[in-house]
Amino acid sequence: MELTHRPRRLRRTEAIRTLVRETLLHPGDFIQPLFVIDGTGVREPIDSMPGQFRLSIDELVKECKALTEVGVPAVNLFGYSDEKDAQGLASYRADGLIQCAIAEIKAHVPDICVQTDVALDPYTDHGHDGVLVDGEIANDESIAVLVRMAVSHAEAGVDQVAPSDMMDGRVGAIRVALDDSGFDDVGILAYSAKYASCFYGPFRGALKSAPRELENVPKDKKTYQMDPANVEEALKEIALDIQEGADIVMVKPALAYLDVITRARQAFDVPIAAYNVSGEYGMVLAAAEKSWVDKETAMFEVLTSIKRAGADMILTYFAKEAAEILG
């Protein structure tokens, strides 16, 4: 019996495979997370994240220039703070590390999109993303601090704030505060479906922001980050953030939650970001180090899967390396 359909005809050569390829990666798909520390001329390797660095502001500016040269359009900044207290008050200082970093980047690399993490874990002595009251992370008290943090970033010149704390109602409160302060052009990239995942471990090592061993303080973030078993809840969270004024919504992590990205893509007509987090990055590096996978092939397979699932943009520690190869 002669076959009518031969799908292998479209796989016969690389040129043909290129013509029919459904999902294409481009440097413009990527956002590079960057870690900022005090000092000058500092490019400190992060032990838990090989190939990534804690950068002083002058080095951060150099890195942003290099990223624009390979076509990466955006960075997302995370700051380390030695000044910690129960309320995270250092998070909104006008002369804070992130605030100064924003201003310097926009002064020297004005065309890059600067996004900033809005959460309190680098600034609290207990390592949680919000304010601790009577042994619990207090939602509304946390929002009050997060709003001040977001406005301080806007005053420094940020393009988009990225609240990652998962407090209820914080997107709406930040949107109102930004608008009332004259920053209606500053966007919100909301961590809308952020799961209580084990894949954040290397990142917490980079910022030294893991929840502390303190009396009457929860040892994890499960009371505000999402249960990994839930997807319908994720859609509710995303819908609420859109109602409150989010310009972009995010699913985090990416690889273990590709189904969530796809469900979000099917349900909502807004830009969707996905965060290829530190543990996912580390798995590829560790497997490549043991020669179990080819690093470059695995990197692109991972990134392609995230875009194929429906993400419009990908926060990834592979951003610069992937962009250089893609040209």
Q: Residue 114 carries which side chain, given as an amino acid letter? A: V
Q: Is 84 a catalytic residue?
A: no
Q: Which of 84, 252, 307, 320 is catalytic?
A: 252
Among residues 42, 51, 177, 39, the alpha carbon closest in space to that of 118 is found at 177
322, 303 in Cβ contact below 8 A? Answer: yes
Among residues 300, 231, 221, 294, the alpha carbon closest in space to that of 266 is found at 231
Radius of gyration of the chain (CA): 20
Q: Which of 84, 194, 221, 320 is catalytic?
A: 194
Q: Is 194 a catalytic residue?
A: yes
Query: ∠ at Cα 232 (266, 223), nearest 5°?
Result: 130
Q: Are strands 131-133 and 113-118 parallel, antiparallel or unpaired?
A: unpaired
Q: Are strands 187-194 and 313-316 parallel, antiparallel or unpaired?
A: unpaired
172, 245 in Cβ contact below 8 A? Answer: yes
230, 237 in Cβ contact below 8 A? Answer: no
67, 319 in Cβ contact below 8 A? Answer: yes
CA–CA separation, 221 vs 217, rounded Å? 10
CA–CA separation, 307 vs 120, rounded Å? 30
Q: Which two tokens stand for residue 142?
A: 């946390």
160, 189 in Cβ contact below 8 A? Answer: yes
Burial level of 129, CB count in 10 A (0-12/13-18/19+)? buried
317, 22 in Cβ contact below 8 A? Answer: no
- 3-class DSSP assignment, residue 188: strand
Kindly list the catalytic residues: 194, 252
